[in-house]
Structure 1
Amino acid sequence: MILAKRPEIDRFLSRPDPDVRAAVIHGKDRSGVAERAALLCKAITPDLNDPFNVTLLTDTDIDADDGRLEDALTALSMIGGRRLVRVRLGGEKASTDKALAAALKLHAEGGFNPDAMFVIEAGALGRDSALRKAAEASKAAVGIACYEDETGDVARMTREALAAEKVSLSAEALDRFVGRLPRERGLMRQEIERLILYIGPGSGVQLGLDDLEAHLGVEPDASLQDAALQAFGGKPAPAQAGLRRALAEGESAVMAVRQAALHLGKLRRINILQSAGAGAKEAAKAAGVFWKQEAEMLRQARAWRLDDLDRVLESVNTADLATRTTGMPEALIAELLLLEIAARARRMGL
């Protein structure tokens, strides 16, 4: 079956129907897919690291061992409770799509352990995907497509996150902040968290428009903004110089990667708005583009299509994680990311 409306999706993720044995959550916004999948999985078993009741597989695992998925779906719980089999797909491969579709169909019919929950996280699955068709056709499975959040959903998410920390924005400030947010859910969450830290968690403060502008004004330094602008414009040397200047001025590599993500989000927003019929200047303004950068951003948006931006987003997310968790040289990670972006841009003619 298909779940499409937000209330029914939220209801299912928090309280999954025990008669449903499988769920396919897919979409271009991989952060949104991962977030929804995590909610569902935690509703099945609170401890996602439980080695007895949880099995996590990737498409590489399945391709390397044909029987591994079947073994996981057949296994019984050793300590009681519902088993969870979670599959994360990193790419699009027809053979894997068909194999998972066949396993899902059999599992939904009770062919494996009927008490196991089978959750699959995937990128955007087209209507010709066998996996998507299998999930949507079965009464014991659900298909959930993750689309870009609407402005109203983003505003609601922001209000709820702020309220949980006992802070808030005025109506004007909320409109301004939501308009500046990237539409990739993981990046969106990061910016909301940064705002909460700026206001002061638990302070009870409501931020007005002027105070919010002060916060937005201290977003990553102009050198980082320029580095991202140059990279997406296909100019590796100026991008590299801007990054090194920013790091010398005390900015962090983490913020450099985040600035690249924000720039990417603006290009995505311009693309989406223009495809919906908005004029170029109107789209740039709605995406939060500084007026002095409008001409260059629109030039870039004409070359960077959504598919290209989605591919770069994978690199941005990988770099963001690496700068915060691996202990590798942060500056080198950020520099390699900008050079990769600039190289892609040059191949597209920028």
Structure 2
Amino acid sequence: MILSRRPDLERFLARPDPGIRAAVIYGRDLGVVRERAAQLANQVTEDPDDPFNVALLTEGDLAGDDARLEGELAAQSLMGGRRLVRLRLGGERAASEKLAVEALSRLLAGELNPDAFLLVEAGALGRDSTLRKAAEKAPACAVIPCYEDEVGDVARMAREALAKDGVGLSAEALALFVGRLPHERGVARREIERLALFLGPGSGVTAGPKDLEAFLGVEPEASLAGAASDAFGGRLAEAQAGLRRAALEGLSGPGAVRALGMHLGKLRRTLTLARNGAGLQEAAKASGVFWKDEREFLRQARSWSLETLDGVQGDILAADRACKTARAPDVLITERLALQIAAKARRIGL
């Protein structure tokens, strides 16, 4: 059963057909995939975080253990109630998709726990995907394709989320705000939550374009964010130019060091998630990487390792201490830090 029309999808997520025993939710926008998977999980089981009734697996869990997925689907609930098995696929291991197809077939054939529900969350699945084909042919499996939000979808989501917090935007302010948002659902939701906090939850404010000027200006400075990315990407000249622009704009040395530290933090979180089985692109999104910066960030993430980042961490802490020392030459300290980071990036192949 393919659910691509919004009314059909909303009805299903609110009250799933009891005859459906599995679901495959997929799409490029992993924020939408995760959101709809969470909605469905809440309907399938009373507590999606219950470790006795719910199992959450990634591709990393299946690597080297081909029987893990079917074993979880065959297991009986220890506390009563329906058992939920969630599988998150990053699309980087074809073997994982094959295991998912086999487990889906056996579950729907009645060979595993009849009270188990399989929920697969995946990235973009092409028409040639064996998992997509198998799921679409199975009457007891719901297939939910997720597409990137259109402008109207983002506007509606913003209106509804802000209304729950007792605040709102005028039509002009909403258009201005939505125009600054990416269409990736997870990132957009975080920005909407940040706006609600800015306006004051429960204040009843309906903000206009002028009211948003301060909020829209509270963005990471392009010169600093770009300089940090350039440094970790091995582009020293561009990094130093960005730092100098930031200095002319009145941004302090500690702020520049902080930007470099934030970039390192995103790389560290992304690599940690990837080491635990998440797909690299999925991990980058979860780490808050802006969609326009994703390609360059992934290039860096494929070269840096957690071990090489540990060496940079010490340099950043030392620079931060130096910048906070009286009469320290902030610009020189941050440029030297960028030089150290860019040099290490070049040595690892960037």
User: Common fold, TM-score beyond 0.5?
Assistant: yes
For residue 248 of structure 1, what is the aligned residue in structure 2? 253
CA–CA distance in 2 between the matches of 1:65 and 1:179?
A: 46
Q: Distance in 2 between matches of 1:182 and 1:222?
A: 16
> What is the match of residue 271 of structure 1?
none
* Alignment map for 1:201-212 (pairs within 5 Å): 201-212=201-212
In structure 2, the CA distance between the partners of 1:57 and 1:265, relative to structure 1 (3 Å rule), is closer
For 1:267 and 1:164, how far apart are their aligned partners in 2?
31
Unmatched segments (≥5 aa) in structure 2 = 267-283, 318-337
Match of 2:187 in 1: 187
Report how far residue 83 of structure 1 moved. Answer: 0.4
Match runs of 1:222-301 below 5 Å: 222-227=222-227, 235-239=235-239, 242=242, 248=253, 250=255, 252-253=258-259, 264-266=290-292
Residue correspondence of structure 1 range 93-242 to structure 2 within 5 A: 93-227=93-227, 235-239=235-239, 242=242
Q: Distance in 2 between matches of 1:48 and 1:154?
A: 27
Equivalent residue for 1:75? 75
1:10-89, aligned counterparts within 5 Å? 10-89=10-89
- The aligned length equals 291
CA-based RMSD of the aligned residues comes to 3.8
Distance of aligned partners of 1:240 and 1:7 in 2 relative to their CA distance in 1, 3 Å threshold: farther
Q: Which amino acid aligns with 1:13?
A: L
Label 1:228 to 1:189 Cα distance change in 2 as closer, same or farther (>3 A).
farther
- In 1, the alpha carbon distance for the partners of 2:314 and 2:117 equals 40
How far, CA to CA, are the matches of 1:312 and 1:232 in structure 2?
A: 10
Structure 1 position 330, deviation (Å): 12
SS of aligned partner of 1:102: helix
Amino acid of the residue matched to residue 163 of structure 2? A
Return the letter of the residue paired with 2:82.
R
Deviation (angstroms), 1:313 = 11
Name the aligned partner's letter for residue 36 of structure 1.
R
Q: Which runs of 5+ in 1 are unaligned?
A: 269-307, 323-327
Given the two structures, how large is their TM-score scaled by the length of structure 2? 0.71
Matched residues in 1 for 2:105 and 2:221: separation?
52
**Whole-angstrom CA distance in 2 between matches of 1:63 and 1:123:** 18
Work out the CA distance in 1 between the residues paired with 2:315 and 2:201.
28
Give the TM-score taking structure 1 as reference length: 0.71
Would the aligned equivalents of 1:86 and 1:118 in 2 still touch at CA under 8 Å? yes
Measured after TM superposition, the shift of residue 228 of structure 1 is: 6.8
**Cα distance, 1:87–1:196 mapped onto 2, change above 3 Å:** same
Aligned mates of 2:252, 2:64 — CA distance in 1: 43
- Percent identity over the alignment is 55
* CA separation of 1:236 and 1:25: change in aligned 2, threshold 3 A: farther
Matched residue, 1:301: none
Q: Partner of 1:298 in structure 2? A: none
CA distance in 1, matches of 2:229, 2:68: 45
Distance 2:297 2:111 in 1: 37
Q: CA offsets, 1:218-259, max 9 Å, x none?
A: 32234335437857998454337747966735475487689x
Matches for 1:323-338 after TM superposition, within 5 Å: none
